[in-house]
Each structure stands twice: as structure tokens, then as C-alpha cells.
Amino acid sequence: MLDALWQGLVLTLTVKGIAMLVLGVIVGLIFGVIPGIGGPNALALCIPLTYGMTPQDAMALAGGIMGSVSFGGSITSILINTPGNAPNAATCFDGYPMARQGRAGAAIGAAGTAAALGGVLGVLLLLAVVPIAKQIVMSFGPPEFFMLSVLGLACIAVSTGGMFLRGLVSGGFGLILSLVGVDIINGGTRFTFGIDALYDGIGVVPALIGLFALAEMIHLSIAGGKVAREDAEAEISGVWDGVVETFRQWPTVLRGSAIGAVVGAIPGVGGTICGFLAYTAAQQVSKDPDSFGKGNILGVIAPESAANAKDGGHLIPTLAFGIPAGAEMVVFLGLMILHGLEPGPRLLIDHEDVIFALIVSLTIACIFATVFGLLITRWLALITLIDVHILVPTVTAISLVGAYALEQKVSDVVISVAFGIVGYFLIKFRYPRVTMILALVLGDLAERSFYQSIKIGDGTIGIFFQRSISLTLFVLIVAAFLLPGLRYLRSRARDAK
């Protein structure tokens, strides 16, 4: 493993690799600061920039974004009580009161340091798990791949917060769209309406850009005004006090990071809950729980360390099994596919160097984002005061060029806009977009492994239940489907009390 880690370090620490990392950190901070745009959209927008890059450089860019977006999000949580990203929501509870008390600098310093430490600890957990995961994935065959695809969809649907059924419907339509184009098994084309541009199927990247970036732009365009609803606090001082205090409160950092990394590794749980769990844990062990919500710095340190540690945790199921743990990881899977890195168990075996390059990038990004972010905090906060009527057309224009640039097909621009409009109505009518895009990503793998499994099983589906791993995955799928029902019963029991 040390060899692979060294190789990852060498691949990342090139002039181009470092440049990509720095670019990723800047983009991540900027997009983190803008509420509602967040990690998945930042990644989706940057995918076109990676077209001409090596997979290692692309991973450096992605690592930079993932490592920094959470800290960017904490800045608006503290300054304007609006989380830049959902995982930063818990930071508002004490970060904003601190800002109102004139301690915004200390809160930002603490958030940045906690995010850096949490990110590094999360990556260490990922490093520890990779060798074990490799052993497990060697025993995977087509039935397991198929079951994994279904499990990934079920887990993401469960995590959509009360939208399980529509999440599955949306996933069904994602699978339908993934079947457009040439039939990979039997040849011939399907569902193309006779349009030549659809013979190669619907590209994941144009669909991603549409569903995430463009749909969000339509949403912002309707909202109007400025991104921030209140003026950002003008004075930011005392940053260093926050940095020092975070190191003093190392048990809180460790606890928050452990919660973030472990909970983040569970597919479908999502990053938001990590921050809230860490916040609650910090409050429960505190000698002065009543001070939480009134500007206690521990209420910033705990959720921020968890919010960044979750990235390491998120990457475990994504890299080892091809099951993305959240929306950001779904987009990240799209980026990997673009660079020939097929998601799923073989990834750790065939592309170990690239994976370690990503791990190295993520580690460096966590630290660099904090140092750089703390230096430019004041200017970053101003981004939230930009009129959306400037933001929307510029981001839309760049997104559309990005959608075109991959294959240089104008049809991809049309697909992006179509997905953008569909994406907006999916948001409005509460059909989760993330299950649709995940199904589009996994559709090819699911269909191929389904056919292979049926062939192995002599035309019967018994093969899915004869192998222990496949059967275990099936049980997990059933458990995922039962989860909303169990939650409902628990919720009713609580009401009855």
C-alpha cells in the first residue's frame, strides 16, 4: 500500500497536478460559499474542464473541490445564517450567534481548522479501509454487480427524505434513459426516435450538467435578488483565536471526525446528518449544554469536522463498490466514467494509482483550502452579494459550452437544456434528481451484469440467490425497501406516546 501511496503522491505533486488542485480548491470555495449550488454542482460544472486531462489531474481537481467546498459552505453559515451546503446546516446554530457577537473571525477560524483536521482524519480512515475492501471486491461477479446497482439505487432513494417512492420512479426513468441507443448485448438501436445523435445513448455529462447546474439556475432565476438574504457581517477578525481553540478542543474534533467518517460511509445516509449527529454528540457530552445555540465554539467545531470527514467515508462505498454515498459522489462517478474509470469493484484493482492520487489530493486540499480560505474569507463572503441576474446567465453559458466540449456535439447542448428544464420540474414536484442520474450512470453496468448473470445461471434468476455475497446484497436491498415502513411505524409510535 505504501508503494501505491507513494505513486499517488508522485502523480499528484506535478506542476499540473498542483495547479489543478489549487484550481479545485478555489472553485470549491467559491461554489461552497454560494448557497444552493454546492458540491455536486461545482463538480458537474468542472467536468468539462477535465476533458483534456489525465485521470490523475482530473482527480486532483475533483479532490480540490471536494476538500474545500465544505469550508466554503461554513462561511455563509456563520456570516449570514445560510448554509452554503446542506452538511453545513448545523454550523448555523452557533456560528451565526458568534458572528452576531462580533466573533465571526474566531468562528471561521475554528470552522476552517476543524474542516481541515476532519478531512485529513476521514482520509486516514479511507486509507485504512482500502486494502480490506480490495480483498472483498475480488470475489465479485456479474450477479453481485447487478445486485450492487440495485442496492445503490435503493439506498439513494431511501436517503431522499420522505421522497422514497418518487425517488424510485425517478430512478426507473433514469434506467429507461440509460437504455437509449445501441443495445450493448444484442446490437441494433433502441428508443432513439430515429435521431442519429441518440445512437450513442444519452451522455452522463450533459445530463448531469442539465439536471444539477441548469436546473439550479432556473431555480435561482425565479428566486431573483441576491444569493444572500441579509448583508454579510463586515468585520472579520480574531481568526487565529479560532484556529488555536480548535486544537485545544481536540476531543471534539476527533469525535466529530469519527462520526462524519463512519456515518458518511453508509450509502444513502447523506452528509447532512453527519453534522447534526456530531453537533448533538458535542452538546450531550458538554458540561454546559445550555450554551449551545448561543455562540459556543464547540457547536462550530463538531459539525465542521464531521462535514469534511464524511468525504473520506463517502469515498469508501463509491470507490470500493460503485455505490455512491451521496449526490456529490454520484457526480463524481460521472467524472470517473468520463476518464475511463469504470465504477465498481474492479476500480481498486485496475486503477490503484489513480485512487491514491485522489486520496493524496483530498488530503492536501483539506489543508490548503483552510489556509487559502482563511486568507480570502472577507472577499469570498462578498460573492453572496452578487445579483443572481449576473450569476445565472454566466453560469448557464459556461455550463452549455461545457456540455458541448466533451464530444463536440451540438445535440449534447440540446440534451443539457432538456435535462435542465426537466430537472427544474423534478425539483418542483419532488422527484429526486439524484436517483435519475445514478440510474443513468449505473444502467449500463446493471444491464450488462444482468445478461451475464442470466447466461451463467442457464436462463434462470436463481443465480442471484445461490451465491452468498449476492444473497447478502439482496437481503440488504430488501432491508432498504423496508426502511421507510419501519421509520413510519417508529414515527407513529412516537406520536402515540
The interface mask with another protein, positions 421-460, x = CB under 8 A, is x--x---xxx----------------x--xx---------
Q: 191's torsion region: left (phi>0), alpha (psi -120 to 50) or beta?
A: left
The correct pick among 18, 19, 414, 456 for binding another protein (CB under 8 A) is: 414
Is the Cβ of residue 398 or residue 469 nearer to another protein in the bound state? 398
- The torsion angle over the Cα atoms of residues 20, 355, 263 and 143, rounded to 10 degrees, is 130
- CB count, 10 Å around CB of 496? 6
Residues whose CB falls within 8 Å of the CB of residue 248, separated by 6 or more in sequence, listed in order: none
Q: Which of residues 168-207 bind another protein (CB under 8 A)?
A: 168-169, 172-173, 175-176, 179, 183, 185-186, 188, 190-191
- Piece of the chain touching another protein by CB under 8 A; list 6-14, 48-56, 79-87, 118-126: 48-56
Residue type, 154: A
- Answer for which of 405, 469, 471, 476 binds another protein (CB under 8 A) is 405
What's the Cα-to-Cα distance from 354 to each of 8, 57, 60, 341, rounded to whole Å?
7, 9, 10, 9
Q: Binding another protein by CB under 8 A: which of 285, 401, 475, 478?
A: 401
Q: Does 397 bind another protein (CB under 8 A)?
A: yes
Pairing of strands 181-182, 189-190: antiparallel
293 Ramachandran zone, left/alpha/beta (phi>0; psi -120 to 50): left
22: contact with another protein by CB under 8 A: no
Looking at the Cβ atoms of 214 and 263, the one nearer to another protein is: 214
Binding segment toward another protein, per CB under 8 A, in 39-47, 195-203, 305-313, 388-396: 388-396
Smallest CA-to-CA distance from 365 within 27, 7, 15, 6 is with: 27
- C-beta of 405: minimal distance to another protein in Å? 5
- 8 A C-beta contact, residue 464 and residue 146: yes
475 belongs to the binding site for another protein (CB under 8 A)? no
Nearest to 484 by CA among 157, 264, 150, 265: 157
**Which residues ranging from 52 to 111 are in contact with another protein (CB under 8 A)?**
52
Q: Which stretch binds another protein (CB under 8 A): 230-238, 324-332, 368-376, 413-421?
A: 413-421
Task: Figure out which of the listed residues 16, 229, 294, 487 binds another protein, where binding follows CB under 8 A.
Answer: 487
DSSP-derived secondary structure for 129-194: HHHHHHHHHTT--HHHHHHHHHHHHHHHHHTTSS-HHHHHHHHHHHHHHHT-EE-TTT-SEES-TT
Closest distance of CB 13 from another protein, Å? 22
Instruction: Provide the minimum distance between the beta carbon of 36 and another protein in the complex, in angstroms, as a whole number.
Output: 15
Question: In the bound complex, what is the minimum distance in angstroms from residue 390's beta carbon to another protein?
Answer: 6
Q: Which stretch binds another protein (CB under 8 A): 330-338, 342-350, 355-363, 419-427?
A: 419-427
- Between 50 and 249, whose beta carbon lies closer to another protein? 50
- The one-letter code for the residue type at 277 is L
User: Is position 474 an interface residue for another protein (rule: CB under 8 A)?
Assistant: no
Query: Please, what is the end-to-end C-alpha distance for the chain in angstroms?
Result: 53
For residue 190, report the phi and psi dihedrals to the nearest 5 degrees. -135, 145
DSSP symbol at 52: T
Question: For residue 282, what are the contacts with CB-CB under 8 A and spacing of at least 6?
Answer: 252, 255, 256, 292, 298, 299, 301, 302
By CB under 8 A, name the one of 265, 413, 437, 445 that touches another protein.
413
Place of cell 447546474: 213
* Range 143-162, binding another protein (CB under 8 A): 162
Question: Grid coordinates in use for 231?
Answer: 448583508
Contact call for residues 322 and 121 (beta carbons, < 8 A): no
Binding segment for another protein (CB under 8 A), chosen from 34-42, 44-52, 238-246, 319-327, is 44-52
Distance of closest approach, residue 146 Cβ to another protein, in angstroms: 11
What is the contact surface with another protein in residues (CB under 8 A)? 48-49, 51-52, 162-166, 168-169, 172-173, 175-176, 179, 183, 185-186, 188, 190-191, 214, 217-218, 221-222, 387, 389-390, 392-394, 396-398, 400-401, 404-405, 408, 410, 413-414, 417, 420-421, 424, 428-430, 447, 450-451, 483-488, 491-492, 494-495
